[in-house]
């Protein structure tokens, strides 16, 4: 990958994705996200070696949404270790990210930490020892990016006002003993966490430890043990794109996490962290243009792990 001019590759990707604008639509079940112009596109790549390149709207903040689940899971694993896996599994769900019947059939134990039920179980676990998990996630993300990150309170309120399915999930888990706190408090904390705003450039920098064996060249500190970093990347590859994870791996071939704000982060282990944003989503809740951009990037650079 170092043989290429990353800036030139991104410029070519920006041209190659143009025919795919107009496909999909923003997340209309969260009113604040539905109003984001669907023609936005940004992409950033940060190499472990220090090189950085961006294209398009890469410095415009957007709602990170489920990408924050990486930060919260990393915090929980650093704090609780394997105790995390007593509340949540490590398997792909094969169902939508807010599916209820699978959770009920499996006695309230979420399949993995990247679906909504799993992320709320992680949030509940953080609430055992931290007063304000969303502020913790915000601070951690900003620390890793080397810049302050903010929570968009309007997005958080919009999301909470429409979080009926998440309330049902939280209540089911409370009834089964998966979570310990008041379901409404867990849902409120989860919605605030998801309302984190970051840019592609900030996200690429923040995800760099997953590409560098747990070390952050941005803050010059080890964030995760190398063994944990490998496991996080494995979970991203198998569970990060919900029920379209197989087709995403087939097309892109990188560990990745999507969010319904239109962002996707992807990791090239040992080499780079990539972030892309375009708000229009496919039926699985993943950015249409963002997926194409990553597919073209891996084709041009031959950096797929598969």
Give binding residues for substrate as ranges. Answer: 66, 116, 159, 166, 190, 242, 260
224 close to 207: Cβ distance less than 8 angstroms: no
Binding site, annotated residues: 66, 116, 159, 166, 190, 242, 260
Cβ-based burial of 250 (10 A; exposed 0-12, middle 13-18, buried ≥19): exposed
Dihedral over alpha carbons 127, 273, 98, 138 (to 10 degrees): 30
Q: In what order do the strands lie in the sheet with 62-63?
A: 62-63, 196-198, 150-151
Tokens of 48: 């472990």
Residue 103 sits at the vertex; the CA angle it makes with 97 and 108, to the nearest 5 degrees, is 130
Q: Report the alpha-carbon distance of residue 133 to residue 86 in Å, rounded.
A: 20
All residues at 6 or more sequence positions from 117 whose CB lies less than 8 Å from its CB, including other chains: 103, 110, 111, 169, 173
């Amino acid at each position: 990958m170092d043989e290429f001019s990353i800036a030139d590759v991104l410029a070519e990707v920006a041209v190659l994705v143009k025919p795919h604008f107009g496909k999909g639509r923003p997340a209309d079940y969260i009113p604040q996200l539905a109003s984001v112009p669907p023609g936005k596109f940004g992409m950033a790549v940060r190499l472990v070696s220090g090189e950085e390149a961006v294209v398009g709207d890469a410095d415009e903040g957007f709602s990170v949404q489920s990408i924050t689940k990486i930060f919260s899971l990393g915090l929980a694993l650093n704090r609780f270790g394997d105790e995390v896996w007593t509340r949540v599994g490590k398997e792909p769900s094969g169902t939508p990210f807010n599916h209820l019947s699978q959770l009920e059939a499996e006695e309230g134990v979420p399949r993995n930490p990247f679906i909504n039920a799993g992320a709320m179980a992680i949030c509940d676990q953080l609430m055992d020892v931290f007063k304000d998990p969303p502020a913790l996630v915000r601070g951690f993300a900003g620390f890793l990016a080397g810049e302050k990150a903010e929570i968009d309170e309007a997005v958080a309120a919009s999301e909470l006002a429409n979080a009926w399915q998440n309330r049902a999930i939280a209540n089911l888990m409370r009834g089964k003993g998966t979570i310990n706190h008041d379901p409404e408090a867990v849902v409120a904390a989860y919605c605030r966490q998801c309302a984190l705003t970051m840019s592609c450039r900030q996200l690429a920098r923040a995800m760099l430890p997953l590409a560098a064996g747990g070390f952050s060249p941005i803050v010059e500190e080890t964030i995760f043990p190398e063994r944990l970093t490998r496991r996080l990347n494995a979970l991203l590859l198998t569970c990060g794109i919900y029920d379209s994870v197989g087709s995403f791996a087939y097309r892109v071939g990188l560990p990745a996490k999507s969010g319904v704000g239109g962002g996707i982060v992807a990791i090239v282990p040992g080499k780079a962290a990539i972030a892309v944003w375009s708000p229009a989503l496919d039926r699985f809740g993943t950015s249409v243009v963002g997926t194409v951009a990553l597919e073209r990037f891996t084709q041009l650079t031959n950096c797929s792990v598969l």
